[in-house]
Structure 1
Amino acid sequence: MRDDDTSGPARPGTPREPRRRRPLRALAAGIGVLALLGVLALGGYAFYLQRTVEGNIEREDLNAQDDATVTISPDRFGTTQPDDDPDAEGSVDLDGPVETDEEGTAPIVGEDGEAVDVGESEFQAQTPARPAEAGEAQNFLIIGSDSRDLSVERGRSDVIVLMHINDERDRVDLVHFPRDLFVPIAGTGGSSKINAAYAYGGAPLLVQTLQPLVDVPIDHVVVVNFQSFQAMTDSIGGVDVNVAEASPGFPAGVMHMDGATGLEFVRERYALSQGDISRGQRQQAFIQGIMTKALSRETLTNPARLARFVDAATTNLTVDADLQVGEMRDLGFQMRGVRGGDIHFETAPWSGIENHPVAGSIVVMAQDQMATLSEHLKNDTMEDYTDPVSPRSGFGG
């Protein structure tokens, strides 16, 4: 981290004001893209890194904008109903709420409260207007998938993050959307857990589901899988993680983790006090550790370690067809002053966890606070955003 209070080098003609800093809170996913953006601008070494990235990344039609056709096609996992047995495997004791089967997709729920039979269908994508107040701020949707090969299966979206890069290119906000957040699913006429959008229509349907919530256009989409997550950790010699809530095998306190241990750490939820929300907090803590290590002088001044990290970060990285490496490089150059303290972490606002009779255990969205988040994203004023609504303990109302 830098020692001063000001941001990195400004683009020509852009005034620069001192920024207030907030404590670094971590959030799941995004490290692959942040590594890609942050290290491509390192002088003469950039050419080698760009060639590595070009050779590693895959491209797919992940985004859906400007009247593109979005196809709804339920995945091979099918749908499941909530488990009636609170002691069954896959459930968590929340004094009421129970989880749906981990291998299933939450059903779509209509306005009448009944499950909707969703078959093959298509609809035309719509894109929110880009407010003038946002300038050249950019929004990336980052998806953490358990698929080994997106061309064969889309897998499940265990991690959903909106990355907002501000107009001045000196601040990054990562907004984590809990996978069980209950929201309207675009094109279906019903609602479900937000990760069901990915299951029913891949990244394009998730884009169309997320955009109305935040009311800003999603410029690019990135999918990273858990093999990449593990490889990145090992490429920099493991990371130190603050374990705030103990669980079997993970005592409270600072713990050094390699990739395999970290993967186990971030996927746990049943032994944690707030279930899926607590898991998100664990993912945040792990990303805090990996970001601190990846952006440290120890890594950035070590060409061999840096090369291993970039290779690991991009080997299992899939981006939308319109995102070119040259654009990544240019964005990385504009963001060359960004360090760990310039990356900020939020969770999409929620008001409680409930047991839905059809969808199972859901995270209830705090709609008024979501509108507040939307305004700050639209106006590029995330430095002023606060969330006094989301419960900090327990399961809310």
Structure 2
Amino acid sequence: MNKQTRSERNSKNNKKTASKIVLKIVLFFLLILVAAGGYVGWQVWSDLQSTTDNMYEAVEDRQEHAARQEKPVDVDSGEDPFTVLIMGIDNDGDNVEHGRSDTMMLVTVNPNTEKTSIVSIPRDTYTEIIGRGIKDKINHAHAYGKASMAMDSVQNLLDVPVDYYVSVNMDSMQQMVDAVGGVTVTPPLSFSQDGFTFREGEPTHLEGEKALAYIRMRKKDPKGDYGRQFRQRQIIEGAMKSLASVDSIRNYRGILDTLGNSMKTNMSFAEMQDLFSNYRGAAKNIEQDQLAGSGTMMNGIYYEIIPDEEISRVQSHLKTELEL
């Protein structure tokens, strides 16, 4: 009973921000595509395609899900439900090739029901790391084997196919926030981090360095990693809102440079076009869910243990969304 209440509470608190992570990224690209037709024409289109080409990174040695062996997803038809694994990568470098996926969300998009569902996965979830032969925190899968191992591990945990991924370097959010002129957030609690002070309920404009401090604090948050994920989503939402402004369109080159350096995906430019054309209706109906468990220490290491009944609940929900 307590677990379900906690899940529902997290869902209500985070729904508006979490659900827009993917959708705002999609809407930004759509906006650029529209601008290509009426603002600066071919040059914008060419720059966008170049950026998405830089972002593209295929996944290799995937463990194919049985459902996809029977029927591969076809986004060109606009009829197939599909999934996207969204990962916020925490590392010390300038790219997203390595590092732990400290934010993980599995998004399902169903064009037939015109519905999008987002399930947040705790970074410390104790599960099998596919291809590694061990059980560990799920956020270590990306560090061990990049996007392919992370996708396979989530696919194994939730027993649904993981078709696409988008990984974002959380450190590069500093450059992204600066590129869009900063973002404004309302902190859910008061705290200090890296020399900056944030006060609960007080709208605060954040430039890049301050924004990075805002999303990196975890230990002082009574909600732990759930609280940090909420603040990360606030920053991403604010950045994506700023991307839709006229000033951002005029500064599209700098923004595209930042996206190209900070994001990776196995979606091709053609597949992105298909998604924009065929799946926009699913953005009208969005729901947020949280895979929830309880923390425990094993050999001096903290893990999040997800009960079997909770995993079954989420698996059933996802399979319904994917018509499996």
TM-score bucket of the superposed structures, by smaller chain? 0.7 to 0.9
Q: Which residue of 1 aligns with 2:46?
A: 51
* CA deviation vs aligned residue, 1:83-127 (integer Å, no higher than 9, x gap): xxxxxxxxxxxxxxxxxxxxxxxxxxxxxxxxxxxxxxxxxx232
Tell me which of 262, 268, 293 is aligned to 1:351. 293
Tell me which of 306, 311, 315 is aligned to 1:365. 306
Mapped pair 1:252 → 2:252: no
* CA deviation vs aligned residue, 1:310-363 (integer Å, no higher than 9, x gap): 44333322223xx31121122123355677x7555433x2221111225x1112
- How many residue pairs get aligned? The number is 292
Residue identity matched to 1:282:
R
Alpha-carbon distance between aligned partners in 1 of 2:220 and 2:259, rounded to the nearest angstrom: 29
Mapped pair 1:198 → 2:123: no
Residue identity matched to 1:373:
V
Please report how far the alpha carbon of residue 59 of structure 1 lies from its aligned counterpart in structure 2 after TM superposition. 3.4
Please report how far the alpha carbon of residue 143 of structure 1 lies from its aligned counterpart in structure 2 after TM superposition. 2.4
Cα 1:292–1:373, aligned 2, differ >3 Å: closer, same or farther?
farther
Please report how far the alpha carbon of residue 227 of structure 1 lies from its aligned counterpart in structure 2 after TM superposition. 4.7
Please report how far the alpha carbon of residue 265 of structure 1 lies from its aligned counterpart in structure 2 after TM superposition. 0.8
Alpha-carbon distance between aligned partners in 2 of 1:33 and 1:291, rounded to the nearest angstrom: 7
Please report how far the alpha carbon of residue 237 of structure 1 lies from its aligned counterpart in structure 2 after TM superposition. 2.2
Mapped pair 1:220 → 2:164: yes
Alpha-carbon distance between aligned partners in 1 of 2:92 and 2:181, rounded to the nearest angstrom: 25
TM-score, normalization: structure 1? Answer: 0.63
Residue identity matched to 1:39:
L
Mapped pair 1:148 → 2:96: no
Alpha-carbon distance between aligned partners in 2 of 1:29 and 1:173, rounded to the nearest angstrom: 12
Cα 1:260–1:267, aligned 2, differ >3 Å: closer, same or farther?
same
Residue identity matched to 1:222:
V
Partners of 2:111 and 2:279 within 8 A in 1:
no
Please report how far the alpha carbon of residue 158 of structure 1 lies from its aligned counterpart in structure 2 after TM superposition. 2.4
Superposition pairs of residues 116-135 of structure 1, within 5 angstroms: 125-130=63-68, 135=79
Tell me which of 22, 26, 30 is aligned to 1:34. 26
Superposition pairs of residues 54-93 of structure 1, within 5 angstroms: 54-56=49-51, 57-62=54-59, 64-65=61-62
Superposition pairs of residues 287-302 of structure 1, within 5 angstroms: 287-295=236-244, 299=245
Q: Which residue of 2 aligns with 1:330?
A: 274
* CA deviation vs aligned residue, 1:218-263 (integer Å, no higher than 9, x gap): 1122222135422332233222212112211111012221222211
1:62 partner SS: coil
More helix by share: 2
Q: Which residue of 1 aligns with 2:320?
A: 379
Cα 1:316–1:166, aligned 2, differ >3 Å: closer, same or farther?
same
Please report how far the alpha carbon of residue 140 of structure 1 lies from its aligned counterpart in structure 2 after TM superposition. 1.4
Tell me which of 312, 316, 325 is aligned to 2:262. 316
Alpha-carbon distance between aligned partners in 2 of 1:188 and 1:33, rounded to the nearest angstrom: 32
Alpha-carbon distance between aligned partners in 2 of 1:144 and 1:306, rounded to the nearest angstrom: 23
Cα 1:242–1:268, aligned 2, differ >3 Å: closer, same or farther?
same
Q: Which residue of 2 aligns with 1:107?
A: none
Residue identity matched to 1:312:
T
1:159 partner SS: strand
Please report how far the alpha carbon of residue 202 of structure 1 lies from its aligned counterpart in structure 2 after TM superposition. 1.9
Cα 1:237–1:173, aligned 2, differ >3 Å: closer, same or farther?
farther
Cα 1:175–1:49, aligned 2, differ >3 Å: closer, same or farther?
farther
Cα 1:168–1:239, aligned 2, differ >3 Å: closer, same or farther?
farther
Alpha-carbon distance between aligned partners in 2 of 1:203 and 1:325, rounded to the nearest angstrom: 19
Partners of 2:21 and 2:237 within 8 A in 1:
no
Alpha-carbon distance between aligned partners in 2 of 1:215 and 1:225, rounded to the nearest angstrom: 27
Q: Which residue of 2 aligns with 1:303?
A: 249
Q: Please identify the structure whose Cα radius of gyration is greater.
A: 1
Alpha-carbon distance between aligned partners in 2 of 1:147 and 1:183, rounded to the nearest angstrom: 25
TM-score, normalization: structure 2? Answer: 0.75
Q: Which residue of 1 aligns with 2:3?
A: none
Partners of 1:37 and 1:329 within 8 A in 2:
no
* CA deviation vs aligned residue, 1:39-70 (integer Å, no higher than 9, x gap): 354160575444223323243343543xxxxx
Q: Which residue of 1 aligns with 2:153?
A: 209
1:34 partner SS: helix
Alpha-carbon distance between aligned partners in 1 of 2:315 and 2:128, rounded to the nearest angstrom: 16
2:293 partner SS: strand
Partners of 2:107 and 2:118 within 8 A in 1:
yes
Please report how far the alpha carbon of residue 193 of structure 1 lies from its aligned counterpart in structure 2 after TM superposition. 0.5
Partners of 1:229 and 1:313 within 8 A in 2:
no
Alpha-carbon distance between aligned partners in 2 of 1:305 and 1:343, rounded to the nearest angstrom: 30
1:243 partner SS: coil
Cα 1:216–1:41, aligned 2, differ >3 Å: closer, same or farther?
farther
Cα 1:332–1:260, aligned 2, differ >3 Å: closer, same or farther?
farther
Residue identity matched to 1:229:
M
What 5-or-longer segments of structure 1 have no aligned partner? 1-21, 66-124, 383-397
Please report how far the alpha carbon of residue 293 of structure 1 lies from its aligned counterpart in structure 2 after TM superposition. 3.8
Percent identity, please. 25
Query: For the aligned residues, what is the CA RMSD?
Result: 3.4
Partners of 1:144 and 1:158 within 8 A in 2:
yes
